[in-house]
Amino acid sequence: MSKQLITGLHHVTAMAGSPQQNVDFYTGILGLRLVKKTVNFDAPDVYHLYYGDETGQPGSILTFFPFRNIRPGTTGLGQAAVTAFSIPKGSVEYWLKRLEQFGIGHEAPRHRFDETVISFADPDGLKLELVANGRDERAPFTYGHIPLEHSIRGFYSVELWESAYERTESLLANQLGHQFVAESGPRRRYSTHAKGKPGQIIDILWDGKKTFGFGGSGTVHHIAFDTPSDEDQLVVREKLLSAGHQATPVLDRQYFHSIYFREPGGVLFEVATTPPGFLYDEDKAHLGESLKLPPWEEHRRGYIESLLEPITLNLEKYASPS
């Protein structure tokens, strides 16, 4: 049996507006942990905020570039359109009450395959889902303002909007180690696990009549797949190049190493290494508390900090409904 080079999702990176609004929503309302506060390496006057489970394990990490005065994006073809989080099977009513408590508009729960799905959006319009299921064995995390038994476990899946599925399916299967799991109408499901484990699922929703999206706040910039090591990443890169995909050289993102490429439908994909992880420069108890800069920007810390809007955790405002 060949080694599994891709183990599932690593992270999803999206665009946002206000950084404080972003922090309030993802830590306060959804209860994710702010595991790293750093900057966009290509635009260091902009935050790069990472949210996840207790230590930011692959498959739990949602990250944002919050640009001031960014234009709103439009969701459409060629995008990772919907990011879904995994919640326990018995937590649907809790989350419906919580979204209503904080005025978050949402659709009525619906069934899809063996799941119950709640669809909603963040303040910038990013499409999100909570997927209730009984198959997630990952440990929960809570700051304490959400009961542990209802807290988000990490990603469930990512949904790609495509005009057709065949070429993207070929890439997922042949270069990224995914298997076809199931289909329902225009939705086709793939996973690195035969039965589709939470955190390892990619859905393709294909519809040639949709218009193409354009980037801006409320849209996903790219999705990243997890690979266990630098050596595994190089094997994946060679597989991509051999198949005619234009993969970048390996880039050092400090908390992981990355390669990037466009899948045939236009979505930007990344393959990111599991190590070194977010404990690289902070201990577990203090993750996300201080601004972390890459070594080449440390000499400009004072200037960079003067450009960034101060952000704080306001968890006391987001206590669970009684």
Domains and CATH numbers, the chain: 8-318 (3.10.180.10)
What is the DSSP annotation of 265-316? TS-EEEEEES-S-GGGSS-GGGTTSSB---GGGGGGHHHHHHHSPP----GG
Contacts of 108 (CB under 8 A, 6+ apart): none
SS (H, E, C) 165-234: CHHHHHHHHHCCCCEEEEEECCEEEEECCCCCCCCCEEEEEECCCCCECECCECCEEEEEEEECCHHHHH
Q: How far apart are CA 308 and CA 40, in angstroms?
A: 11
- Token readout for 312 is 């704080």
21 phi/psi in degrees, rounded to 5: -60, -40
Report angle CA 261, 264, 270 to the nearest 5 degrees: 25
Q: How far apart are CA 102 and CA 138, in angstroms?
A: 27
- Three-state DSSP class for residue 148: helix
Q: What is the pLDDT of residues 215-229, one digit of tens each?
A: 999 999 999 999 999
Q: What is the pLDDT of residues 238-284, one digit of tens each?
A: 999 999 999 999 999 999 999 999 999 999 999 999 999 999 999 99
> Any idea what DSSP says for residue 29?
I
Percent of the chain clearing pLDDT 90 (strictly above): 94
- Three-state DSSP class for residue 23: helix
Reported as a pLDDT band with limits 50, 70 and 90, residue 322 is low
Reported as a pLDDT band with limits 50, 70 and 90, residue 195 is confident
Task: Give pTM, 2 decimals.
Answer: 0.96
User: What is the per-residue burial (b if ≥16 Cβ within 10 Å, else e) of 54-72?
Assistant: eebbbbbbbbbbbbeebee
Beta bridge partner(s), residue 85? 130, 155
